[in-house]
Each structure stands twice: as structure tokens, then as C-alpha cells.
Amino acid sequence: MTYTPPMSNDDFRRAGHELIDWIADYWETVEQRPVLSQVAPGDIRASLPTEPPAEPESWDAIMADVDELIMPGITHWQSPNFFAYFPANASPPSVLGELLSAGLGVQGMLWATSPACTELETHVLDWMLDLCGLPDRFRSGGPGGGTIQDSASSAALVAILAARERVAGQWRMDQMVAYTSEHAHSSAEKGIRIAGMFPEQLRQIPSDGTHAMDPVKLREAMLADIIEDRRPFFVQATTGTTSSTALDPIDEIADVCKEFGAWLHVDGAFAGSAAVAPEYRFVNAGLERVDSYCFNPHKWLLTNFDCSLFWVADRGPMTSALSIVPEYLRNAASDAGSVIDYRDWQIPLGRRFRALKLWFVIRTHGAAGLADFIRNHVHMAQALAERIHGHPSYELVAPTPLSLVTFRHTGGDEDNERIRDTINSDGEAYLTHTRLADQTVLRVAIGAVRTEQRHIDALFDRLDELA
Ligand SMILES: *Cc1c(COP(=O)(O)O)cnc(C)c1O
């Protein structure tokens, strides 16, 4: 038997150059496409052949199907008119870093399985502390350190497992209670469930007038649990909630956690990127007192999914929770304890070389370029918030500390749904809603790489027409 690859190295060169051209053309013209895919459920599958191909197919045939069959089912997250959820940036250097990572095809589970994969990650995570003005306690030289997770959800799960490990042997698992705010991301509850606890072991603490966690209510909830012989072990606070970018008061929450010995994890998934601009470092307030912190460059820092940065102040409980050493993974460097093995910092064993794309992004932009990228979005969002505030039919429903504008048509829920659906179905822009104070409100999240003032102007004009 011999195997002849159907795509030779020379074919790969040609196809690869073509594909890069395809992506560059796509980015150049993405603004002309309807942002939200308009297909119905099942349309894409119905267009695909029922059977897999028995014989080789040409690259040209495959790409023709990308254009004809796949593209109609794409929602254009890279469109400058994408204002839904939070952004999911892709930029030229990050895509090239992703491609290089795929080409090298290394598995970075151990230092020994590709030393550069581990050491570049450690180094870039230390750089990010400098770039964002984050506390030294997360630096790799001490007991803490940082790693790249696939998502903020995985970071939350790892934090929960580390927190549980820290009190294992003292407290039974069914006594343990976790706390988060009513506006926290669903990943907190998912993490608790995956960690083998019941949803009832997670308390949702009410928020204040700005939709941030109320630390007085947090303390009351913990006291009530202790009286019932339960043990507060974990708090997940949020800087920049998904609904409205509310900032939980980390310093006051840290006081409460300290009093009861609970692990404090901070989820800065979206807002954390803002700290590359020194004037927005209010998002870091209190982080010098937390046990773990995470934010996602794959949302708002030019790095395509997946790239979620996760730091711990003390890696001991985490690696103690996650390290299992079968014989076939043993090696001299690990045995000597002289290296980091990132498999002990995450759920899976295998891991990609994700640091490359972040390194490319940082080097291509420099600190000044990253800060300008963020600033531009915040300025556009805050100007939009002012215009909405001045409009007779709309009102802001939450502050705009960064680049998410939350507002509503004063007519009520049905008007807001009508406006959202009209804008989304005509394809000119894409925005989503949330619920705050029991009302449907609209969200405009500004953060796509190609969004310019003219796109925001067009959106405002459309909102005005639909009012
Ligand atoms: C988007 C978001 C998440 C989830 O991020 P993933 O990386 O997709 O898991 C978590 N928390 C907040 C506040 C978010 O905005």
C-alpha cells in the first residue's frame, strides 16, 4: 500500500495563496453583505450532498461550494455593521498566527512536547500584565501565572475546581456554596454543574441600580448560609456584564470573600481588553486582591477565537486539582519541577499553540496601536449614547462605561422587538436585546475591527426612522 496525498505541497502553495486572497477580498467586501444570515433551519444541510464523496474532489470544486453553499449560512461577525452580543474580532496578524499554529501542528500539553509553545505563552501572558496594567501577583515568576484557555467558560470551571480543591478535606462538597450576581454570565452555573454540584449551590446575588452586584447582599447571603452549616467557597464577580457592562465592585466583594475565606474569580471576558488603554484601567480596580481573573482577547482585542486569558495568584490549588501523571507522560523536565506543563492548567490534555496569534497581534500593533483600537470604539459608543439620550423616543437604561450602549424605545417591549427585527431582517446591521429591570432593551456593542463612524451614523439614522 502506498498513500499519495491528493494535495501536493505545490497544490497547497497555490490553494493557500488563493485562500488568503479570498479572505482579504471577503474582508474588503463584507460590509455589503446582509449581516445576519437569512437562511431557515435545515436550508444549509438540504443543499449539501447526502453522501460523502467516494473519489477525490478538486480544490476549485470545494471553494466553489464554500461560495455557493456555505456563505449564505454565514452571519458576518466581521462586518462593520455587526453590533450584536459582543464582538468576536479577527485581524490579519491573528489569522496568520492561527495558520502558522495549524501548520506547525504541535501539541503543547507538556513543556517537553514543544518548549516554545509553553514558554511563548508564559511570556506573552506576562507581557499582557504590563500591557493592561494588571497586578504583579499574576506574574509567572512568583506563585501565580497565566495561561490561554479556549473560553471564559473554561476559565470559570478551572477557577471553581481550584477553589474546591483549596477547601477539600475541610468541607464536604454538599456543604459548599458559590455566589455570583443575577447578571453574571451563565458560565458560572454551568461550571458549578460540571464540577458536580447542584444549581441550588449557586446563589444569585441581587444587583444595585447600575446592575452591579450588591456586596451587602452578598455578605448577608453568606451569613445566612453559614448559620445553616453551609460553606461559602467561591464567588464569581464580573467586570463588564454581558447585558450592560456593569462593573461589580471588586474591592468590596474582596472584603467579603476575605472574611469568609471564599475564592474570588473575576470574569472580565469582554471589558478586560479595555485596559490596554490606560484611561480605562478602572476595569482593573480591585484585581490585586482576587484569586483568579480572565478576559477574552477573542472578543475585543483583535485575536480570533479562541483566546481567553486566565491568571491565578497561586497555581497550587489549580494544579493540585488537575494534575494526573500517567507513566507515558513522565519526562525529566517535568519530574525536576523546572518547567510549566499547561495540561495541569486546563480541562483537556492536548492544546494548540494559541500564543502565536496573540504574539503576532501584540507585535504588529504595539501597545499604542492596541490602545487606539479600543479608544476608537469607546469614543464612538459614548457619542452614540449621547445621541440616543437626546432622542425623544429612546432612553438609555444603563451607563456606557465602555463600548456597549443599552437603551430602549420608550413605547415598550413590542416597539423594541419590532425595531430589532426590522433592522436585523433587512440585513443592514445586526443588534441583539437583553432584559434589564424586567424590560426588553436593545444593545449596540461596538467593537468590530472595521466599524467606522459612518456605520454608527447609519445605524442611528435607522433607529431614528424606526422610532
Ligand atoms: C462572552 C462572555 C462570557 C463567555 O465567554 P466564552 O469565552 O465564550 O466562554 C463570559 N462572561 C462574560 C461577561 C461574557 O461577556
**Ligand 1 atom 12: residue of nearest CA:** 269
Is the pLDDT assigned to residue 219 strictly greater than 90? yes
Buried b (16+ CB within 10 A) or exposed e, 330-339: eeeebeeeeb
Is the pLDDT assigned to residue 367 strictly greater than 90? yes
Give the C-alpha distances (Å, rounded to integers) separating 54 from 15, 50, 51, 176. 22, 12, 8, 55
Residue range 224-238: mean pLDDT, rounded:
97
Closest atom of ligand 1 to CA, residue 270: 15
* Ligand 1 midpoint to CA 181 (Å): 14
* Ligand 1 midpoint to CA 73 (Å): 24
- Contact 353 CB / ligand 1 (< 6 Å): no
What pLDDT does 328 receive?
Answer: 85
Q: What are phi and psi of 440, to 5 degrees?
A: -75, 125
What pLDDT does 326 receive?
Answer: 85
Closest atom of ligand 1 to CA, residue 242: 15
What pLDDT does 304 receive?
Answer: 98
**Ligand 1 atom 15: residue of nearest CA:** 242
What pLDDT does 302 receive?
Answer: 98
pLDDT category at 338 given cuts 50, 70, 90 is confident
Closest atom of ligand 1 to CA, residue 299: 1
What is the distance between the alpha carbons of residues 104 and 413, in angstroms, rounded to a whole number? 51
Mean pLDDT of the chain: 96
- Contact 154 CB / ligand 1 (< 6 Å): no
Closest atom of ligand 1 to CA, residue 268: 13
Cβ(431)–Cβ(72) below 8 Å:
no
Quick check: bond before 267 cis, omega within 30? no
pLDDT tens digits for 174-210?
999 999 999 999 999 999 999 999 999 999 999 988 8
Q: Give the predicted TM-score (pTM) of the model.
A: 0.96
> Rounded to an integer, what is the distance from CA 467 to the centroid of its chain?
33
Closest atom of ligand 1 to CA, residue 241: 13
Mutate to test the pocket of ligand 1, among 157, 160, 186, 270 (most ligand atoms within 8 A of CB): 270
pLDDT category at 465 given cuts 50, 70, 90 is very high
Using a 10 angstrom Cβ sphere, with 0-12 exposed, 13-18 middle and 19 or more buried, the burial of residue 64 is exposed
pLDDT tens digits for 305-325?
999 999 999 999 999 999 988
**Ramachandran class of 85: left when φ > 0, alpha when ψ lies in -120 to 50, beta otherwise:** left
CATH assignment of 98-360, given 3.20.20.140, 3.30.360.10, 2.40.50.140, 3.40.640.10? 3.40.640.10
If we measure between CA atoms, which residue out of 254, 228, 237, 253 comes closest to residue 174?
228
pLDDT tens digits for 39-97?
999 999 999 999 999 999 999 999 999 999 999 999 999 999 999 999 999 999 999 99
* Ligand 1 midpoint to CA 273 (Å): 13
pLDDT tens digits for 100-139?
999 999 999 999 999 999 999 999 999 999 999 999 999 9
What pLDDT does 335 receive?
Answer: 84
The DSSP symbol for 412 reads: -
* Ligand 1 midpoint to CA 152 (Å): 5
Q: Are strands 231-238 and 145-149 parallel, antiparallel or unpaired?
A: unpaired
Cβ(226)–Cβ(232) below 8 Å:
yes
H or E element that contains 231: strand 231-238
Residue with cell 432584559: 435
* Ligand 1 midpoint to CA 6 (Å): 40
**Ligand 1 atom 1: residue of nearest CA:** 269
- Contact 79 CB / ligand 1 (< 6 Å): no
What is the distance between the alpha carbons of residues 341 and 110, in angstroms, rounded to a whole number? 4
